[in-house]
Chain A
Amino acid sequence: MTKNKKFRVSIIILAAFALILILGYNYVYQDHRNIETEQAAFSLSADEISDEFSKNPEESEKKYLNKTVEVYGHITELNDIDLTLNDNVYCGFNTSLNISHSIDSEIKIKGRCIGYDDLLEQVKLDQCTIVN
Chain B
Amino acid sequence: MKKTFFLIALFIGLGLSAQSKYLTKKGTVAFEASVPSFEEVKASHNSVTTIMNSGNGEFASLVLVKGFRFKNALMEEHFNENYAESDTYPKATFKGKILDFSLDKLNAEKQSFLINGQLTFHGKTKQLDNINVDITLNEEGIIVSGSFLANASDFDIKIPKVVKNKIANDIEVTFDFSLKKK
Which of A's residues lie within 8 Å of B, judged by CB? 27-33, 61-62, 65-66, 79, 81-82, 90, 92, 112, 114-120, 122, 124, 126
Contact in complex: B90, A120 (CB < 8 Å) = no
Within 8 A of A (CB), among B56-104: 60, 62, 64-67, 72-74, 76, 80, 86-87, 90-91
Inside 8 A of A29's CB, which chain B residues have their CB? Answer: 72, 74
CB-CB under 8 A for A66 and B49, given A28-B74, A30-B74, A82-B25: no
B47 in the interface, Cβ–Cβ < 8 Å?
yes
A-B contact count (CB 8 A): 64
Contact in complex: A32, B62 (CB < 8 Å) = no
B26 in the interface, Cβ–Cβ < 8 Å?
yes
Contact in complex: A119, B72 (CB < 8 Å) = no
Inside 8 A of B90's CB, which chain A residues have their CB? Answer: 61, 65, 114-115
Inside 8 A of A79's CB, which chain B residues have their CB? Answer: 26
Please give me the 8 A-B residue pairs with the lowest Cβ-Cβ distance, nearest first. Answer: A115-B64, A114-B66, A114-B64, A32-B73, A114-B67, A92-B47, A115-B90, A119-B49
CB-CB under 8 A for A115 and B47, given A30-B74, A33-B73: no
Size category, B interface: 20 to 34
Contact in complex: A126, B67 (CB < 8 Å) = yes
Residue of B nearest to A31 (CB): B73
> Beyond the given A112-B66, A119-B49, could you list 6 further A-B residue pairs with CB under 8 A, ordered by the A residue number?
A66-B86, A90-B25, A119-B60, A120-B25, A122-B25, A126-B47
